[in-house]
């Protein structure tokens, strides 16, 4: 699985600026957060990524692009911003990978599963 492979995962959100934002797509290397309040491109953010009700963790990411539903580069996505993950704990990265692997294999994604790929 490449870091650029992106998947739609129901129930995944991120906390930003006091709000819980839906994540429209997710990869090991980043995600797209749906929001009308968008940060500045190249801004580094401390976020909390939530893979469901029982699994959340901090990530540091850099805003790489913005999307506007009318003028944005990707009209298939809602308004929001893309984040490249710059720092995440290894067990949390494994948890993201585990969710994505199960989606890729066609298994139901359970974002609350603990333990990442090894467990």
Whether domain 13-103 has CATH 1.10.1200.10: the reply is no
Amino acid 6: pLDDT: 53
Instruction: Answer with the residue of higher pLDDT: 103 or 109.
Output: 103
Computed over every residue of the chain, the mean pLDDT equals 79
What pLDDT score was predicted for residue 115?
36
Q: What local confidence, expressed as pLDDT, does residue 48 receive?
A: 96
pTM, 2 dp? 0.77
Q: Tell me the C-alpha distance between 32 and 30, whole Å.
A: 7
């Amino acid at each position: 699985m490449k870091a650029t492979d992106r998947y739609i995962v129901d129930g995944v959100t991120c906390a930003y600026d006091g709000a819980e934002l839906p994540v429209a797509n997710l990869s090991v290397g980043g995600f797209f957060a749906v929001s009308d309040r968008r940060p500045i491109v190249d801004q580094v953010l401390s976020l909390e990524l939530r893979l469901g009700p029982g699994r959340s963790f901090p990530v540091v990411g850099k805003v790489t692009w913005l999307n506007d539903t009318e003028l944005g580069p990707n009209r298939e996505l809602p308004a929001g911003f893309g984040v490249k993950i710059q720092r995440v704990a290894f067990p949390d990265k494994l948890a993201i990978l585990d969710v994505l692997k199960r989606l890729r294999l066609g298994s139901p994604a359970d974002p609350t599963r603990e333990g990442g790929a090894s467990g």
